[in-house]
Structures are given as structure tokens and as C-alpha cells.
Amino acid sequence: DACGTLDVDSAATVRAGSSSGDSSSWAHLVLSFDGTATRFYVNGTEAPTPGGDGSRMPHNVRASVDDTRNRFFVGAEAAYAGARGVGCDMAVDEVRIFDYAVSATEAAQLASLVQCPRLDAPRFGDVACSGTLPGDVCEFTCSAQYQRTPTTTSRVCQSDGTWTGE
């Protein structure tokens, strides 16, 4: 099953693909390589990275380790032995690459990170936000020419992923 594959190579390859065929579920994946050991986390929990046998891991994910390539793939299966790579009908959101090995604690924190949705500006005004993480604030202003006053001048992102106010 190529679809759902995350193929990462940098002195170690981890290939993970959904074996359940469930394309409606999101999974948070982290691969951490410290120069010696490869660690793979699914939804904040470390999963085994077996040596090339495609063994099943938790959360219907498969992985294998291969020390022969230096490539990074997200959203497609790599081309091997001259074969053409295989793309997938899947969504990939917010790929981040760090210049250090992510710890188990940090992988769990990244998996549980809550964000509020982006807010649109009012029809006759503007919105300026400090971000979309808990504690971030969005300030609303209305155009003076329309002599309107915002019902809420600011909203704060809450820890449950919602904004205060209406």
C-alpha cells in the first residue's frame, strides 16, 4: 500500500503507510534521527522501527528501516531500482523539519498542540492576530468611514482550540 506513505531517508529510512485503507483519519507522525538511532512517533507515542520487514506498528502504521538511501519523501512512495515512484491520493499538512533530534517529550507535545482556526476580517474592517496558538490575541478594527464599532474588539485563542467572544 503506497498511499499514506511517509518515506524518510537520512542514513536511515522509515516508511510508514496506512494498512487499514482508512483515508478519513489523520495521524501525527514524527521521525527523529540523532545521527545513530531513528525514532518514530505516531500521535505522540513511540512506535517500533523494525529492520525492513514491514512489521505492523500501533495505529495501523507499517515501518521499515533501510540504511542505503539519503532521500526525504512525504506523500509518495520512493522510486526504487529504477522504477517510477508512486503518488497517493492523500492530504499532507504542515510538514516541519528540525535541525536537531526531537525528544519523546517534544514529540508528545507536538502531537497534542492545539490551534485555533484563522479568523476573517469583518466586512468593513480589519483583523490583526498575534497567532493561532492558545493565548494568542486577534484585535478587530472597523473602518471609520462606515461609523461602525466592533461588537468584540479582541478575541483570545483558548486551550480547547476555540476563540473567546462571538
pLDDT in tens, the chain (166 residues): 334 444 444 434 444 444 444 455 567 778 777 777 777 787 788 876 544 444 444 333 433 444 455 455 555 544 554 545 555 555 666 667 777 888 998 888 888 777 888 999 888 889 999 988 888 899 998 877 776 666 678 999 888 889 998 6
| Assigned CATH topology for domain 114-166 | Complement Module; domain 1 (2.10.70)
- Please tell me the predicted confidence (pLDDT) of residue 124: 84
- Please tell me the predicted confidence (pLDDT) of residue 139: 93
pTM greater than the 0.75 cutoff: no
- Please tell me the predicted confidence (pLDDT) of residue 69: 54
24 phi and psi angles, rounded to 5 deg: -95, -5
Name the residue ranges covered by the structural domains of the chain.
Answer: 6-111, 114-166
